[in-house]
Structure 1
Amino acid sequence: MTRIIQLSDPHIVPEGTLCYGVVDTGKALQQAVATINRNLPLWGKVDMVIVTGDITDFGTAEEYARFRSIMADLALPVRVVPGNHDLRENMRTAFQDQDWMPESGGINWSAEFSDFGLICLDTLVEGHHHGELQPDALAFLSDTLKNLGSKPVVVGMHHPPFNTGIIPMDINNLRDSAELSKIIESHPAEVRLVCGHVHRSVTRSFGKAIGLIAPGTSHTVTIDQRVENPHTLSLEPGAFMMHEWRDDGIVSHIIAGNYSDERHPFTTPV
């Protein structure tokens, strides 16, 4: 059974500092890694961990080095795509020892497993918060889908191509998503679209695909849907997602980033 874990928006900052002055993002990521390690015996084999953008807060070499140091405790293959807080060339340098990292251009890559394919796309527009899919990313998606034939696929990226009602995020989501939808519609099998950016769990249809936004590993974007939304973060518990093949489709789970190992039977004490 194919199974992948999706982390998103860790926003790693230099050790000893807090993101936005309030969030210990490094500790939150460490807790998520520890949670995964503890629970692998319960879940079974995990084929890969993907991180859908905003690996760091400022895209510095120091932040990428700290991210890799934390993730080194996870004995699973890890791949990333950039978000709007990342810097593409600094990310490329930080992962230059990885064979999946492209030598130039957008950080687009794919992997094929027994039950479904995985395609991750670069939506970063450096200097801006919104996302775009460049022609090379759209061509990569189209070509890879053709190569996968009738195999189901998970498509991962940072910016969601749909609105959530949180206005400051919606104005900075993926722009010009019509071509993405057209390419996905052409695929003959199931497509699961997994994103980040909003730091909270959101589900919506996107054409034939089920679109999912993963929660962040630490803080969330406040679910404030007023027009005058001041755009704030909330210190809600971090979480991540697991996507797996079950029976004849892709099943997606939300898992708390840190929780007790206690297990209690569903019985009433006599």
Structure 2
Amino acid sequence: MKIVAFSDIHGKYGKVIEFLKNNQVDLVILTGDITHFGPPELAGEILNEIASFDVPVLAIPGNCDPAELYGNMDNSNAINIHGRSVTINNVGICGFGGSNPTPFKTPLEFDEVEIYENAKKALEEVKDSKVTLFVTHAPPVDTKVDVLPSGDHVGSISIRKIIEESQPTINVCGHIHESIATDKIGETEVINPGMTAGGYACMINIDDSNEDDIKVESKIIEI
């Protein structure tokens, strides 16, 4: 299965459409900030256009998406995995959107307790899958993927704790546009492909032809 993940579209999804016109994938994941502070109905329009390529689309909201966006996601042709899980071809996928608190009081922020309880519950639902993808908007704290230009680490304590405890195969995140990187927390690969408009995405290839030896490869790609 070939999966492409896009982060932080902020309403500008031309590169996503161009990529899908020229590349065949089995699944598209959007890791939040689908809009730039709305309007909520724009999310539905974006998700439906991406889904028009006849490929499943999974999405979570980001901290810059308004709370009202939930309904527009659920009414679109995409699958909203915020606090939810799905299983596709032995791959368990769950998500949690928004972010831990920021100084900017953006529309969709959660305290760390709420993040831990709800994101952990979603991941528990797919813990028996042979491959688990943990899709979050906020990156885990104290990694290469949550660093501001100032050097400050601003990721989520709870996302990191969940990864340390549950060890999903991959955590694909976003939120910090400047922190395009990959890292490891134990056996978990952590990937922040940065803002899609910057020309990057995450590609995940899962070879399950041998169920006893499933191979997972992930990388940041230019688009």
Gaps of 5+ in 1: 13-25, 41-45, 220-237, 258-270
Deviation, 1:10, is 0.3
Confirm or deny that 1:166 pairs with 2:148: yes
Give the corresponding residue for 1:184.
Answer: 166
Higher Cα radius of gyration: 1
For 1:71 and 1:209, locate their aligned partners in 2 and report how far apart those are by CA, in whole Å: 28
Contact 2:171 2:191 in 1 (8 A): yes
| CA displacement at 1:211 relative to structure 2 | 1.0
Distance 2:126 2:91 in 1: 12
Indicate conservation of the 8 Å contact 2:59/2:79, yes or no: no
1:32 aligned to 2, 12, 16, which one? 16
Q: Tell me the residue number matched to 2:136.
A: 157
Confirm or deny that 1:239 pairs with 2:200: yes
Shift of the alpha carbon at 1:153? 1.3
Where do residues 40-119 of structure 1 align in structure 2 (5 Å cutoff)? 40=24, 46-68=25-47, 70-88=49-67, 90-97=68-75, 100-101=79-80, 107-119=82-94
Partner of 2:9: 10
Q: 1:64 to 1:130 in 2, by over 3 A?
A: closer
Matches of 2:205 and 2:36 in 1, distance apart? Answer: 29
In structure 2, C-alpha distance between the alignment counterparts of 1:242 and 1:54, rounded to whole Å: 19
Runs of 5+ consecutive residues of structure 2 not aligned to the other structure: 208-212
Quick one: structure 1 residues 115 and 253, their matched pair in 2 at CA, closer, same or farther if it must change by over 3 Å?
Answer: farther
- How does the TM-score come out when normalised to structure 1? 0.65
Task: Return the letter of the residue paired with 2:202.
Answer: M
- Structure 1 pair 215–48 and aligned structure 2 pair: CA distance change class (3 A): same
Residues 79, 116 of structure 1: alpha-carbon distance in 2 compared, 3 angstrom cutoff: closer
Tell me which residue corresponds to 1:253.
219
TM-score by length of 2: 0.78
